[in-house]
Chains A and B, each alone.
Chain A
């Protein structure tokens, strides 16, 4: 993390290349986060694009001990939350629109999992994404979402139980 300090300093002074290098390490996970939270590739792409622009224009606010990763995911989390549409309906076939790498392992199992994951509520997907892609602790997630940390933990746990039940019901 600390080896990025020089790049952070450069980026803070407006160096786009330095910023892009910091971003390089995380963009794939940022996109995965956005896609798994928003379910829709177009939305995900927009959310990441907006995040990058916001991050670049405000990088001066990054504290050096706060990791770039944690900070840029914080912006993305808020962006994703803003994009929720409140419709948890499943009528749209999100899965078909998601581009996959060629021949992923266990394609069927993966599609099942994604399918069920997308059945979770917006907030549940967001909380899990914040955990696995952003690497936040439940306390950090709680801070960003401004909900109680215990609630984060129990919401995630409940969501995973649901998911697990759906998977075993097959």
Chain B
């Protein structure tokens, strides 16, 4: 007999959970009226943390991120005498390199005064310890995660198209050689490859699904399952993304090590620490001798396979690195892997001066002279570089201690940036690291007024940097600036007072021109000439309704915008909008066409450029979007739509309905020659582009 659960869809169940919550009585203490009173008291007292809390442990909470002790107590960094029982066992796997000095000849440089090279592990601990009691507020409010920190395309689309051909591999079979054109992951900087959940090499499609990569052969207009690669992983581990580079397939995975631990309570006995902790809101747990806690350690592991014969991938090796996966880039045959080891100060006790809590790369601790220290910080950003064909050989590894940073990678450099508030002003601190042949070394640091709001607003071109920022003055009025820097990160130029009262929504740089969208109730597109980096000049400006969130160069003289149409009076969003700008003459920007997709309010294309297929050579614009049903407000459906640019207008070529349980963000559209493919985590469907996108085949992946 079937129970009632069998008849419930996921949505029904979610609705039921929601309904059950609506029966809860909301306590008076959190009503707006009470909150108003409390906030009034608080602003008078100017003490944020003297708010009475009902539970003791709450104030001692820490970010439960990777590498954190997950339990009822957290140990701050302890002096060397602290108990040994709290040492995390995983650390034993990791050793300090015999070669404490850099393998590379060049010693690491300071990044200005923003990040300085540690003199010793002791200095690392001291910074972590002093940061431990500082409750970092910034970390909650970042606006973008590192995964979509992007770099803007700077060599134009022609270069990208050239690469398509170059990418066509030297394939053994005749069928492979026939593939003359195929889509690649939508990148921001030509030459800086990015991982994704779906890739094609012109014949095979590689799809990430939870714990495996499925390889599908598309030859002879068919869709044939070839094989799947399953790295040897635990049940909680997952495959995140992949790279395909000629005969190499690289999988990025996260591995979790969880262990139950018995710990001896240590900090209630130390008076000085008790003082420290209480001052920042910590309430020592008196009377607790032993505390059971769960420690979770996360490491990112790259699995590398030879796919000369995709039917029989052969395992070549792994590279592993402590911490959560943040992002990665591939430049030539070098992979740069970024992971975050969170809350270093609380992950373990300080037990020795041999690097007790220092993250490892391929089992080897990062040497102290490869660790960059800020004034204050508690998280470690680990960056390593490897050659794809030699994963066991780490070219370089560094760690930057920080409270929160965003990552941007250009052709020649890595930039780390974050915003700070000083004297009611927002600032963005930027550090530049050169990445020559895999060697990572700081160049300098600089700071600019305002904050970087769009991932495409920061861009490197010919080793020089350009940055667009938005700031608010004391009256809450926004204003925007464009800064230029030379190769040593010295500021060379500034264009300020751009679009007062508006914010930067989207930006894109093409060669020596910056294009950006600001928005309040209307959407001006600006073009700025950057050919003289000491004197950026405003070239043109164009106002239309709505705003774009994503910009893409189209045929070298047009700019495609994907965003929203809005009501200029109320600001209310009317639906997703595609717009094509004519930028052939930046002093006379024009709109060629725009279309509004009715009842469509969400597309991952707005926020994740990897979800966008935009290829002017093939004349394809594709993305998934959610639509509200016109008959039933609560119902929605999802389509993958493809548009072409024909005779000066957008033309819808196809709109494929996606099943309700499809996860919009994991849908990718791709093409190989004249076949279009829609790939989600459940299936691949092929369409004949020469025949009105008629559906051809479908390959369902096993559940």
Contacts and interface: CB of A to CB of B under 8 A. Distances in A.
Interface in A88-114: 98-101, 104-105, 110, 113-114
B208 interface: yes
Nearest to B10: A160
B585 to A, nearest CB: 30
29 contacts: A9-B476, A16-B36, A27-B32, A40-B55, A45-B54, A46-B54, A49-B53, A50-B53, A53-B51, A57-B48, A58-B140, A71-B141, A78-B139, A82-B63, A83-B57, A86-B70, A86-B293, A101-B25, A117-B20, A137-B665, A149-B663, A150-B208, A150-B681, A156-B10, A160-B13, A164-B8, A164-B13, A167-B3, A168-B4
Interface string B538-564: 000000000100000000000000000
A57 B87 CA distance: 37
B664 interface: yes
Interface string A116-145: 010000000000100111000111000110
Given A46-B54, A82-B63, A27 B141 contact: no
Contacts of B159: none
How many of chain A's residues touch chain B, expressed as a range?
Answer: 35 or more
Given A3-B570, A27-B30, A84-B64, A46 B55 contact: yes
A23 B32 contact: yes
Interface in B449-468: 453
A41 B503 contact: no
A163 B9 CA distance: 11
A154 B140 contact: no
Contact of A50 (B3, B58, B570): B58
Given A5-B571, A113-B20, A168-B6, A16 B30 contact: no
A105 B13 CA distance: 16
Contact of A132 (B18, B64, B340, B665): B18
B23 A110 contact: yes
Nearest to A81: B64
Of all A-B residue pairs in the complex, the 5 with the closest CB atoms, nearest first, are A168-B3, A168-B5, A2-B571, A82-B61, A104-B23
A64 B29 CA distance: 28
A138 B57 contact: no
Q: Which of B8, B24, B51 is packed against the most chain A CB atoms within 10 Å?
A: B24
A73 B540 CA distance: 39
Contact of B608 (A46, A105, A139): A139
Interface stretch (B38-46, B176-184, B215-223): B38-46
B604 interface: yes
B32 A24 contact: yes
- In terms of DSSP, what is the predominant structure of the interface of chain B? mixed
Given A86-B71, A101-B25, A150-B666, 17 more contacts: A12-B472, A16-B43, A20-B35, A23-B35, A31-B27, A40-B55, A43-B55, A46-B58, A48-B30, A49-B38, A52-B30, A52-B35, A85-B71, A113-B17, A146-B66, A167-B4, A168-B3
A52 B519 CA distance: 28
Interface in B121-162: 137, 139-141, 143-145, 147
B147 A143 contact: yes
A78 B142 CA distance: 12
Contacts of A150: 197, 208, 210, 238, 663, 666, 681
Interface of A: 1-3, 5, 9, 12-14, 16-17, 19-21, 23-24, 27-28, 30-32, 35-36, 40-43, 45-50, 52-54, 56-58, 60-61, 63-66, 71, 74-75, 78-79, 81-87, 98-101, 104-105, 110, 113-114, 117, 128, 131-133, 137-139, 143-144, 146, 148-151, 153-154, 156-157, 160, 163-170
Contact of A137 (B325, B572, B602): B602
Contacts of A2: 566, 570-573
Main secondary structure of the interface of A (DSSP, over half): helix
Contacts of A5: 571
A70 to B, nearest CB: 11
A151 B238 contact: yes
B311 interface: no
Nearest to B296: A86
Interface string B470-483: 00100110000000
A150 to B, nearest CB: 6
B650 interface: no
Interface string B249-283: 00000100000000000000000000000000000
B658 interface: no
A150 B254 CA distance: 13
Interface residues of B, number: 92
B20 to A, nearest CB: 4
B3 A169 contact: yes
A122 to B, nearest CB: 9
Given A43-B58, A167-B3, A49 B18 contact: no
B32 A137 contact: no
Contact of B30 (A49, A64, A143, A160): A49
B307 interface: no
A128 B4 CA distance: 21
A157 B660 CA distance: 13
Given A86-B293, A132-B14, A164-B6, A114 B20 contact: yes
Contacts of B690: none
A50 B296 CA distance: 26
A132 B14 CA distance: 7
B14 A128 contact: yes
B24 A83 contact: no
Contact of A53 (B8, B48, B139): B48
B64 A45 contact: no
B475 A13 contact: yes
B2 interface: yes
A120 to B, nearest CB: 10
A71 B287 CA distance: 38
Nearest to B145: A143
B90 interface: no
- Name, among B17, B22, B57, the residue most crowded by chain A CB atoms within 10 Å (CB to CB): B17
B39 A16 contact: yes
A86 B294 contact: yes
Contacts of B55: 40, 42-43, 46
Given A45-B29, A86-B293, A168-B3, A36 B21 contact: yes
Contact of B24 (A16, A32, A117, A148): A32
Contacts of A100: 23-25
Interface in B566-581: 566, 570-573
B346 to A, nearest CB: 12
A12 B197 CA distance: 39
A48 B503 CA distance: 30
Contacts of A66: 143
B558 to A, nearest CB: 25
Nearest to B144: A143
A120 B20 CA distance: 16
Interface string B93-132: 0000000000000000000000000000000000000000
Contacts of B31: 27
A42 B54 contact: yes
A146 B570 CA distance: 34
A106 B314 CA distance: 58
A82 B62 contact: yes
Contacts of B294: 86
Contacts of A47: 58
A139 B602 CA distance: 12
